[in-house]
């Protein structure tokens, strides 16, 4: 039996992650160490390889002193932390994704013009925290439809959204908030690359009978892709090729592979190779037992 393996066209890093890694590598030349505030991306394999190149993840700036180099990840950071870094006179490499920067600016503008600002997203996500800090105390995070339903009526508000949020869920929450106020400005700040990935996973998951969703287990955008894919087809959330087992592939005719924004294309290619290898092996074993 021939098995088709279909890899999503947008697999691999998004432009924001690619830029952050490039800036980190360019800065970490010679003896220069670059400290990133938290892992530069949500992918343990890449973080490990960056450490070997002097790009070290730290939880906070307490242990750093003047002259040390700090890289701000593509998610961005809070305004307070940015001020603290400047006060400490650390060298800053700002790798905040331009699309996240735009969302931060929009939040500031909405807070200047509306009495409330709702940021739809995962409240503990660093990107959302960074955006929230720019809302002049008027911004609030809404993480679910239930939270939106509990909101009191309001006169006017601005709404924006985490760049990697699921589009359908964003619309659902916006519809709920629209019932609560009269003057509402909606800014859809979901990035185009996220939309492309989401559309791709929705379409591909209808064409295959097994989907591998590849990404770090703590990557929020990969989780969203997995949720979408699981609605249509058996989906497996994996980080490495070693997680593929022959049992998963039994009887499958079309296998899809999609990846989160912080998954290297190399990992996706190795996963494809592993699937092919396992299929070949089981074909051989099948012939032997006939
Ligand atoms: S997912 Fe979009 S907004 Fe987020 S880092 Fe990548 S390109 Fe930037």
Verify that 49 and 124 share a domain, yes or no: no
State the average pLDDT over residues 206-232. Answer: 94
Q: Six-digit token pair at 157? A: 């508000």
Q: Give the three-state DSSP class for 120.
A: strand
Q: At what angle do helices 220-232 and 192-204 cross, to 10 degrees?
A: 30
Q: What is the DSSP letter of 163?
A: T
User: 146 CA to middle of ligand 1, Å?
Assistant: 27
The predicted complex's ipTM stands at 0.99
Query: Reading across the β-sheet that carries 210-214, which strands appear in turn?
Result: 4-7, 254-259, 210-214, 235-238
Are residues 218 and 176 located together in one domain of the fold?
no
State which of 97, 125, 188 you would mutate to test the pocket of ligand 1, scoring each by most atoms of that ligand within 8 A of its C-beta.
97
The pick from 165, 189, 191 for probing ligand 1's pocket by mutation, whose C-beta has the most ligand atoms within 8 angstroms, reads 191
pLDDT tens readout for residues 17-34: 999 999 999 999 988 999
Q: Which residues pair with 120 in a beta bridge?
A: 142, 161
Total count of domains within the chain: 3
CB contact set of 62 (below 8 Å; sequence gap of 6+): none
Nearest-atom number in ligand 1 for the CA of 14 is 6
CA of 99 to the centre of ligand 1 (A): 6
C-alpha 257 to ligand 1 mean position (Å) = 20
User: Is residue 177 a contact partner of residue 119, using CB atoms and an 8 Å limit?
Assistant: no
Residues with CB under 6 A from ligand 1: 14-17, 74, 97, 99-100, 163-164, 191, 193-194, 261
- Give yes or no: residues 266 and 197 share one domain: yes
Helices (H) and strands (E) in the chain, counts: 11, 12
Residue 191 alpha carbon, nearest atom of ligand 1: 2
Q: Whose CA is nearest to atom 7 of ligand 1?
A: 16
Mean local confidence (pLDDT), 277-290: 77
Whether residues 162 and 246 fall in one domain: no
Alpha carbon separation from 51 to 16, 33, 47, 139, 281 (Å, rounded): 20, 10, 6, 36, 36
Dist. CA 74 → ligand 1 center (Å): 7
Closest by CA position to 274, among listed 254, 237, 249: 249
Residues 256 and 211 grouped into a single domain: yes
| Nearest atom in ligand 1 to 98's CA | 8
Query: Domain of 173: which CATH number?
Result: 3.40.1010.20
Which residue, of 54, 71, 96, is where some domain finishes?
Answer: 96
- Residue 73 phi/psi, 5-degree rounding, is -70, 170
Do residues 184 and 198 share a domain? no
**Beta-carbon neighbour count of residue 64 at 10 Å?**
17
List, by residue number, the catalytic residues: 127
Note whether 58 and 106 are same-domain residues. Answer: no
pLDDT of residue 164: 93
* Domain end marker among 171, 190, 209: 190
* The residue to which tokens 């049992």 are assigned: 247
Domain span including residue 8? 4-12+193-289
Q: Could you identify the atom of ligand 1 that is nearest to the CA of residue 99?
A: 3
Q: Is 55 in the same domain as 78?
A: yes
Lookup: tokens for 74: 């593509």
Model confidence pLDDT, tens digit, residues 111-132: 999 999 999 999 999 999 999 9
By CB neighbour count within 10 A (0-12 exposed, 13-18 middle, 19+ buried), where does 124 fall?
Answer: exposed
Same domain flag for 135 and 57: no
* Residue 91 sits in the same domain as residue 154: no
Report pLDDT for 216. 87
105 three-class SS: helix
Distance of CA 15 to the CA centre of its chain: 12
Q: Say yes or no: 149 and 234 in one domain.
A: no
Same domain, 254 and 205: yes
Give residue 282's pLDDT: 82
Beta-bridge partner residues of 236: 212
Q: Considering 96, 126, 157, which residue would you say is the last residue of a domain?
A: 96
Q: CA-CA distance, 228 to 218, in Å (whole number)?
A: 17
Q: What is the mean pLDDT of residues 136-152?
A: 97
Specify the residue with its C-alpha closest to ligand 1, atom 8.
16
Residue range 45-69, pLDDT digits in tens: 788 889 999 999 999 999 999 889 9
Model confidence at 289, pLDDT cuts 50, 70, 90, reads: low
Nearest Cα neighbor of 101 from 119, 125, 82, 75 is 75
Expressed in angstroms and rounded, the spacing between residue 47 Cα and the centre of ligand 1 is 18
Report the pLDDT value the prediction gives residue 113, as an integer from 0 to 100. 97
Sheet with 69-72: strands ordered across: 55-58, 34-37, 69-72, 91-94
């Amino acid at each position: 039996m021939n098995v088709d393996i279909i890899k999503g066209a947008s697999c691999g890093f998004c432009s924001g992650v690619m830029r952050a890694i490039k800036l980190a590598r360019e800065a970490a030349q010679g003896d220069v160490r670059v400290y990133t505030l938290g892992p530069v991306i949500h992918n343990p394999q890449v973080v490990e390889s960056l450490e070997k190149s002097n790009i070290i993840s730290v939880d906070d700036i307490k242990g750093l002193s003047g002259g040390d180099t700090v890289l701000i990840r593509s998610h961005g950071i809070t305004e307070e932390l940015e001020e603290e870094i400047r006060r400490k006179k650390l060298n800053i490499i700002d790798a905040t994704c331009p699309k996240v920067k735009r969302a931060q600016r929009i939040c500031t503008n909405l807070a200047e013009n509306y009495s409330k600002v709702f940021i739809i997203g995962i409240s503990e996500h660093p990107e959302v925290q960074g955006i929230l800090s720019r809302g002049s105390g008027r911004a609030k995070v809404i993480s679910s439809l239930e939270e939106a339903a509990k909101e009191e009526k309001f006169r006017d508000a601005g709404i924006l959204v985490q760049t990697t949020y699921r589009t359908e869920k964003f619309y659902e929450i916006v519809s709920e908030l629209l019932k609560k106020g009269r003057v509402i400005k909606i800014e859809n700040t979901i990035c185009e690359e996220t939309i492309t990935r989401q559309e791709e996973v929705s379409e591909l998951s209808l064409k295959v009978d097994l989907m591998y969703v590849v990404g770090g287990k703590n990557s929020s955008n990969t989780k969203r892709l997995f949720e979408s894919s699981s609605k249509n087809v058996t989906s497996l959330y994996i980080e490495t090729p070693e997680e593929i087992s022959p049992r998963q592939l039994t009887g499958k005719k079309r296998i899809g592979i999609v990846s989160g924004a912080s998954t290297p294309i190399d990992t996706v290619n190795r996963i494809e190779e592993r699937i092919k290898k396992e299929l070949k092996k089981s074909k051989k074993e099948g012939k032997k037992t006939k």
